[in-house]
Structure 1
Amino acid sequence: MTTERREPAQNAGERAMLEGWLDYHRQTLAWKCEGLTDEQLRTASAEPSELSLMGLVRHMAEVERGWFRKVLVGDDPGPVYYNEQDPDGDFHVTEDDTWAEAYATWQAEIETARRNAAGFGLDDLSKGRSRSTDEPFNLRWIYTHMIEEYARHNGHADLIRERVDGATGD
């Protein structure tokens, strides 16, 4: 698989621009994981951190699930990788965890996110509410937050990938 990263059009409308940048960052994370073995994808960044590329992908599957299912449309299917006893379970990868499963779960959550967001305008309010303010979010806020979330974690992915095999790049 070769990941094609496409920068958003420089003159796109607001929604296309937000969706374009979100997709760009999704593609960047996939690109950072490309060509590595399961073992390499499970390699932690540096002790004592357990942060790995596979853990980042599992985390972003949970983030997509949380914002576009639970918050946006009010559907709460529950977490995939974490639970009350292990709230950071998405980052706790084991020898039994595979890239095929993590990637498939992440991609399924991205497709659900796209489908759910398609039913909302940028100013439409979410069904779920903020835990701190009890206010709903508009889709524009959710898109902006997701871009920020991916951008931050893609910075982590840069460093982890360089540690794993020396590969660098934007």
Structure 2
Amino acid sequence: MVRSHRLRGRTDLVPAGVRARRAAGARQEHCARPAPDYLGRIPDGPMAGVEVSLRWVLIHMVEEYARHNSHADILRESIDGMTGA
């Protein structure tokens, strides 16, 4: 596995990354918890005018995130040849 020489030994980055992720999660909880069934309309695009809930938007975002991670994994595998990493 190829590792960047700039990150080698940077164990200080792990706790900072965990703290940043927890802070982002807390902000998401603060915004989404009170109104998961809040309804709104999609303003433009192929689904313009469709009424959706905040729950639908969040699930859609998780799906898109997973899809893009899969694409990035395929690209990484084609570059370094490692699978399942």
TM normalised by structure 2 equals 0.51
- Mapped partners of 1:153, 1:120: distance in 2: 27
- Mapped partners of 2:5, 2:43: distance in 1: 36
- Mapped partners of 2:57, 2:5: distance in 1: 31
1:124 counterpart residue number: 38
| RCO higher in structure (CA 8 A, sep ≥6) | 1
Q: Is 1:167 matched with 2:82?
A: yes
Identity of aligned residues (%): 37
**Structure 1: segments with no counterpart, 5+ residues:** 1-34, 40-98
Deviation at 1:135, TM superposition (A): 5.3
TM normalised by structure 1 equals 0.31
CA distance 1:112–1:167, shift in 2 (3 Å): farther
Q: Is 1:37 matched with 2:7?
A: no
Count of equivalent residues: 71
Structure 1 counterpart of 2:54, one-letter code: L
Q: Deviations over 1:77-118 (max 9, x none)?
A: xxxxxxxxxxxxxxxxxxxxxx98xx68x7354442232111
Alignment match of 1:145 (pick from 35, 60, 72): 60
**Structure 2: segments with no counterpart, 5+ residues:** 7-12
RMSD (Å) for aligned C-alpha atoms: 3.6
